Structure 1
Amino acid sequence: MPTLRAAVLKIGTVNWELDTITRNGFDKANGFELQVQPYADNGATRVALEGGEVDMAVADWIWVARQRAAGKDYVFIPYSKAVGGVVVPKDSPAQTLQDLKGKKIGIAGGPVDKSWLILRAYGEKEYGFDLADETEQVFGAPPLVFKTALNGETDAAINFWHFLAKMKAAGMRELISVSTASTALGLNPDIPLLGYVLKESYLAENPQMAHALYQASRNAKELLAEDDSAWEPLRDQMNVKSEAQFETLRQDFRAGIPAPGNVAVDDAATFYSLMVRLGGSKLVGEATELPTGLFANVE
């Protein structure tokens, strides 16, 4: 039985799925043994993948496309479509993005964060202005954006989905989701942005692994989607401070489960074109078009 060594962020939400896979034996049922190796940050997981210390890491496919265009043989297996959005204090008068003109927005992920770029594009299309020009942005790590928003130091916040879930549990309200903005822009909001990244060279030696990993992932997703009790073993690593946080995280994780099947390449290409236009080389490097072979066949 082949071993799949997975590099993950020690506190990453992907651990909830991987823990469910190993706890329920979904890896062995699909013909492999999953070994999870935690790392302190995402950069370390990617170095471990590149150096051959592990066989798999987690990333969004925009990053994978950039690496593939640079000559690395990385491929992407879909994991989650969970994305962020904009939240504001519950008593904020803001009802649309237009109401954020002149306001301060806390943003996790930096100036080329995918959620921020999509929301900028949505603002241009719907209201004719660029959020980057009409607001003050405060970029920071997700916990900092979380804290400053709850303390009222910013008027709105864009954060990673699991921090947003906790912010909503604390009483903040969503002004608009990235999913809604994507739909308005003619994008497919169901494209899974996050996924498992493996090397083609590894898959050449283990040709069954793409399907096996994907199937184990689907087995875990189906259990977590349908069985509330499957979440109880995960409670400690979810780092929740209240039942409201626990419920909101579970609800939003379930909302991020993509439909089964391969990534729709044409829809991904449309999405990628927008990222190229808005993010430029800082985001995509030299990969101005979607590289062929980016998405593994998992069916």
Structure 2
Amino acid sequence: MRTAKETVPSGLRRPSWRRISRRLVVGLAVAGLSTALNPFSGGNEARAADLPKLRAAVLKIGTVNWELDTIKRNGFDKANGFELEVQPYADNGATRVALEGGEADLAVADWIWVARQRAAGKDYVFIPYSKAVGGMVVPKDSSVKTLEDLKGKKIGIAGGPVDKSWLILRAYAQEKYGFDLAAQTEQVFGAPPLVFKSALNGETDAAINFWHFLAKMKATGMRELISVETASKDMGLDPNVPLLGYVLKESYLKDNPEMAKALYQASRDAKELLASDDAAWEPLRDRMNAKTDAQFETLRDDFRAGIPAPGNVNEDGAATFFALMARLGGKKLVGDVGELPPGLFVNVE
């Protein structure tokens, strides 16, 4: 078995190691031990076993597994003072039940959902993970050049009527072209794979799908009509606000005060590796379920495009985005939340 020391590029390992070294020095002093500081060296395997465990409940086929696999494969969790345990589930609902019931310490969700839960009294908080969002694609030879050309046409949409990409593109069409996409098109809502197949079979004129399905659709020859990022920029929203993140309980972080920054740094270490090293993607090919090299490369490139800038979430930008979602999605999307609840975003710096 390859060790973390053998696989982690030195440029990524050194900053994390300096941080964990300081923590280990304190721990060793308290325990009255005088062993070597490296917990993974030959005579100190027990120290590695003593690291706090972080149980992550995730969708078995979710793209977050690409990052979590990279964290574990390269030892970024242990280098930052914890051991990551990945618990796969068949659907997102089950991951959230596991988090709520204490069977897991972490799940993945968008912060709008987290805000709704927090406003309802749950002590959930959000650590940024990805700003990858969807968009709209059309067949390569389609005559559709702008959203305005979709009047009277059929759109396949994953995620339902309050899908965030759909809501943003509706707002953009209203602002840019003065018409409501919902009123002047036919929508077919379905699961992402169904939207994918319907679009490729020509059953719909355009499609809105989750980012990784869109990547595969583009790889098969479909053309991106507009991205949510472009629409967001044009409407004055901050496209760099990460929508997806790791969700933990404040009570858990109170008992494990170093875990938030440790998790965030392990995540950044994995992102930096995946952003800079094509070879780091080879062990992920099976997980990515890419049927062709073109799909693999598009998935890799779009994942990289979704990596947020380091640092805390821009709360003003998030508040503006939330207000738009509340206006368009109403209570069905945000519940009774009037504004972002305080303490939603964890300070990761």
TM-score range (shorter-chain normalised) is over 0.9
Deviations 1:160-214 (A, max 9, x none): 0000000000000000000000011110011100000000000000001010000
2:119 is equivalent to residue 34 of structure 1: no
Equivalent residue letter for 2:265: Q
CA offset at residue 78 of structure 1? 0.1
Match of 1:133 in 2: 183
Equivalent residue letter for 2:289: N
Match of 2:231 in 1: 181
Distance 2:171 2:266 in 1: 36
Match of 1:71 in 2: 121
2:303 is equivalent to residue 253 of structure 1: yes
2:57 is equivalent to residue 7 of structure 1: yes
Match of 1:289 in 2: 339
Which of the residues 137, 140, 145 maps onto 1:90? 140
Deviations 1:125-183 (A, max 9, x none): 00001100010000000000000000000000000000000000000000000000001
Structure 1: gaps of 5 or more residues: none
Match of 1:213 in 2: 263
Which of the residues 217, 221, 231 maps onto 1:167? 217
CA offset at residue 3 of structure 1? 0.4
SS of alignment partner, residue 115 of structure 2: helix
Match of 2:67 in 1: 17
SS of alignment partner, residue 267 of structure 2: helix
Distance 1:120 1:28 in 2: 44
Equivalences for residues 47-66 of structure 1 within 5 A? 47-66=97-116
Match of 2:192 in 1: 142
Match of 1:202 in 2: 252
Equivalent residue letter for 1:203: L
Q: TM-score, normalised on structure 1?
A: 1.00
Distance 2:190 2:99 in 1: 26
Structure number with greater CO (CA < 8 Å, separation at least 6) is 1
Equivalent residue letter for 1:223: L
Which of the residues 74, 77, 93 maps onto 1:43? 93
SS of alignment partner, residue 290 of structure 1: coil
Equivalent residue letter for 1:181: A
Which of the residues 139, 143, 151 maps onto 2:201? 151
Structure 2: gaps of 5 or more residues: 1-50
Aligned-pair RMSD on alpha carbons?
A: 0.3
Distance 1:297 1:32 in 2: 19
Distance 1:291 1:277 in 2: 17
Distance 1:99 1:235 in 2: 37
Distance 2:164 2:64 in 1: 19
Distance 1:134 1:118 in 2: 16
SS of alignment partner, residue 211 of structure 1: helix
SS of alignment partner, residue 133 of structure 2: coil
Taking every aligned residue pair, what percent have the same amino acid on both sides? Answer: 83
Equivalent residue letter for 1:228: D
Runs of 4 or more consecutive aligned structure 1 residues displaced over 3 Å after TM superposition: none
Equivalent residue letter for 2:233: T
2:286 is equivalent to residue 236 of structure 1: yes
Match of 2:16 in 1: none
Distance 1:266 1:91 in 2: 40
SS of alignment partner, residue 67 of structure 1: helix
CA offset at residue 73 of structure 1? 0.2
Match of 2:24 in 1: none
Q: TM-score, normalised on structure 2?
A: 0.85
Distance 2:131 2:257 in 1: 26
Match of 2:173 in 1: 123
Distance 1:188 1:264 in 2: 8
Equivalent residue letter for 1:88: V
CA offset at residue 102 of structure 1? 0.4
